[in-house]
């Protein structure tokens, strides 16, 4: 049995960080992986050496991405941003994609992927939603349904074309970056999953399977499939 090492960028300065780290770690360990959180404060040599050892990367939830990275000014409703975190994660994502390593992008991670490919974000979706997409009180339970493209990697992993998911976001992918396509959406048409055209393995979802997997086994399949691809 090989335990592939999964690298996760650490989100600094967040009081919920230990709780979030535990949720990702638990799901990845259950799937047979070991986990290394990567701090943006380590030297670039050290980071290069560590990322080399990682078989795959998980890009986690976190603060909003600064709108300047997709060519917009911040609008009312845009949340807290952390530009140093954005540039650290974008460079890590670039390295990972160059090496064609398996990726699992969750929440902010999916939005980061879209921005990295030249896409834009809707800065505050509250006025356009029919379902409560920003439902922080029900992390572990489904809030809204999503439709899944059965031909996508996501559809193949979940073996279904519809699923209900939790929802902890107030931003959404807007224009989709070149080379990406929408593999799942909400009833209002918000992108809930993205796929990279022609990439070996990338799951990118707007919901948070790490909080659902313990009660909803189908969500654990995403972690299983990701770790399998890292082996
Ligand atoms: Mn949602």
Could you tell me if 125 and 171 are in contact, meaning their C-beta atoms sit under 8 angstroms apart?
yes
CA 211/CA 117 separation, integer angstroms? 27
Q: How far is the CA of 206 from the centre of ligand 1 (A)?
A: 6
Q: Which two tokens stand for residue 222?
A: 């995403």
The alpha carbon of 231 and the centre of ligand 1 are apart by a number of angstroms equal to 30
Q: Predicted confidence band at 96 (pLDDT cuts at 50, 70, 90)?
A: very high
Distance 51 CA to ligand 1 centre (A): 31
Give the structural domain span for 148.
Answer: 5-230
> Looking at residue 97, which CATH number applies to its domain?
3.40.50.880
Mean residue pLDDT of the chain comes to 95
Report the residue count for the chain: 231
pLDDT digits (tens, 9 = 90+) for 197-222: 999 999 999 999 999 999 999 999 99
pLDDT digits (tens, 9 = 90+) for 114-171: 999 999 999 999 878 888 889 888 889 899 999 999 999 999 999 999 999 999 999 9
Residue 53 Cα to ligand 1 middle (Å): 33
136 C-alpha to center of ligand 1: Å? 11
Contact 160, 218 (CB under 8 A): yes
Which pair of tokens denotes residue 154?
């996501």
Which residues fall inside 5 Å of ion ligand 1, going by CB? 133, 167
**Contact call for residues 207 and 107 (beta carbons, < 8 A):** yes
Going from the Cα of 210 to the center of ligand 1, the distance in angstroms, rounded, reads 15
Calpha distance 65→107 (Å, rounded): 11
Question: Can you read off the two tokens belonging to residue 212?
Answer: 């659902």
Q: At a CB cut-off of 8 Å and minimum separation 6, what does 225 contact?
A: 157, 203
Spacing, Cα 43 to ligand 1 middle (Å): 36
Half-sphere exposure in the Cβ direction for 132 (13 Å, CA): 10
Task: Count up the domains in the chain and report the number.
Answer: 1
Place of tokens 């509250």: 126
Q: Compute the distance between CA of residue 2 and CA of residue 32 in angstroms, rounded to an integer.
A: 8
Question: Residue 131: its pLDDT value, please?
Answer: 87
Average pLDDT over residues 99-127: 96
Are 49 and 132 in contact by the 8 Å Cβ rule? The answer is no
Cα 3 to middle of ligand 1, angstroms: 32
DSSP structural state of residue 168: B
Q: Is 142 helix (H, G, I), strand (E, B) or coil?
A: coil
Spacing, Cα 14 to ligand 1 middle (Å): 22
pLDDT of 65 reads 98
**Cα 167 off chain centre by:** 13
What Cα–Cα distance (Å) separates residue 122 from each residue in 9, 51, 117, 126, 153? 24, 31, 16, 10, 25
When pLDDT is averaged across residues 103-116 and rounded to a whole number, the result is 98
CA distance 116 to 114: 5
How many DSSP H helices and E strands does the chain contain? 7, 11
């Amino acid at each position: 049995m090989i335990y592939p090492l999964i690298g996760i960028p650490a989100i600094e300065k967040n009081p919920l960080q230990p709780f979030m780290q535990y949720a990702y770690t638990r799901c990845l360990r259950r799937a047979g992986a070991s986990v290394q959180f990567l701090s943006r404060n380590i030297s670039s040599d050290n980071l290069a050496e560590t990322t080399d050892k990682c078989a795959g990367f998980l890009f986690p939830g976190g603060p909003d991405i600064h709108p300047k990275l997709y060519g917009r000014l911040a609008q009312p409703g845009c949340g807290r941003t952390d530009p140093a975190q954005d540039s650290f994660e974008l460079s890590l994502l670039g390295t990972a994609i160059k090496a064609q390593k398996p990726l699992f992008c969750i929440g902010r991670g999916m939005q980061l992927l879209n921005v990295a490919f030249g896409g834009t974000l809707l800065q505050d979706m509250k006025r356009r939603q029919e379902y409560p997409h920003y439902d922080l009180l029900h992390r572990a339970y489904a809030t809204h349904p999503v439709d899944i493209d059965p031909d996508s990697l996501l559809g193949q992993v979940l073996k279904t074309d519809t699923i209900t998911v939790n929802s902890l976001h107030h931003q959404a992918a807007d224009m989709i970056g070149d080379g990406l396509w929408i593999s799942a959406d909400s009833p209002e048409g918000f992108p809930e999953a993205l796929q990279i055209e022609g990439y070996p393995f990338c799951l990118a979802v707007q919901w948070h399977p790490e909080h659902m997997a313990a009660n909803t086994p189908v969500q654990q399949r995403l972690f299983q499939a990701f770790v399998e691809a890292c082996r």
